[in-house]
């Protein structure tokens, strides 16, 4: 199952990747656009999760992304929420009657509004728009 990456964690990792390894939590927070306390807990969580490597002591800390951190960020950056189109929802579809493209609101809407006002449409299904073997003819 794909879950949406945590945006605060991702912002922190991205900031750390772009900054000098000696960057402070305050600098990470400013770059990531998050609170300093969030940056601090994201750093702690990142180290615990193996995404970050911290070397040096409290006053000469060097913080870098591990391979796991880089790949976590890479996957997050390539994570895209399925759009309406992919789900077969709203998109431009060709009308089954006049063949003109129209804004269909869902996969089952295949006839444009003007066509729905025509006598042909109101007359109901006929051979011209019959569906054979799942394919419209």
Q: Provide, rounded to whole angstroms, the least separation between the CB of residue 114 and Zn ion.
A: 6
Applying CB under 5 A, the site for Zn ion has a residue count of 5
Site string for Zn ion, 13-52 (x = CB under 5 A): ----------------------------------------
Q: Provide, rounded to whole angstroms, the least separation between the CB of residue 82 and Zn ion.
A: 28
Question: Rounded distance, CA 2 to CA 10, Å?
Answer: 16
Q: Provide, rounded to whole angstroms, the least separation between the CB of residue 92 and Zn ion.
A: 13
Question: Rounded distance, CA 66 to CA 17, Å?
Answer: 10
State how beta strands 52-55 and 62-65 pair: antiparallel
Residues 58 to 117 in contact with Zn ion, rule: CB under 5 A: 95, 97-98, 112, 115
State how beta strands 89-94 and 101-106 pair: antiparallel
Q: Provide, rounded to whole angstroms, the least separation between the CB of residue 51 and Zn ion.
A: 53
What residues contact residue 29 under an 8 Å CB cut-off, 6+ apart? 15, 35, 36, 38, 39
Site residues for Zn ion per CB under 5 A? 95, 97-98, 112, 115
């Amino acid at each position: 199952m794909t879950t949406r990456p945590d945006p605060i964690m991702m912002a922190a990792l991205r900031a750390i990747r772009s900054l000098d390894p000696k960057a402070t939590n305050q600098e990470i927070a400013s770059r990531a656009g998050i609170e300093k306390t969030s940056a601090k807990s994201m750093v702690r969580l990142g180290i615990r999760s193996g995404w970050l490597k911290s070397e040096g002591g409290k006053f000469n800390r060097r913080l870098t992304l591990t391979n796991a951190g880089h790949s976590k960020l890479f996957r997050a950056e390539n994570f895209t929420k399925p759009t309406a189109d992919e789900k077969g929802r709203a998109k431009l579809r060709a009308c089954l009657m006049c063949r003109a493209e129209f804004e269909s609101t869902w996969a089952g809407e295949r006839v444009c509004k003007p066509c729905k006002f025509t006598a042909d449409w109101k007359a109901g299904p006929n051979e011209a728009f019959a569906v054979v073997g799942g394919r419209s003819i």
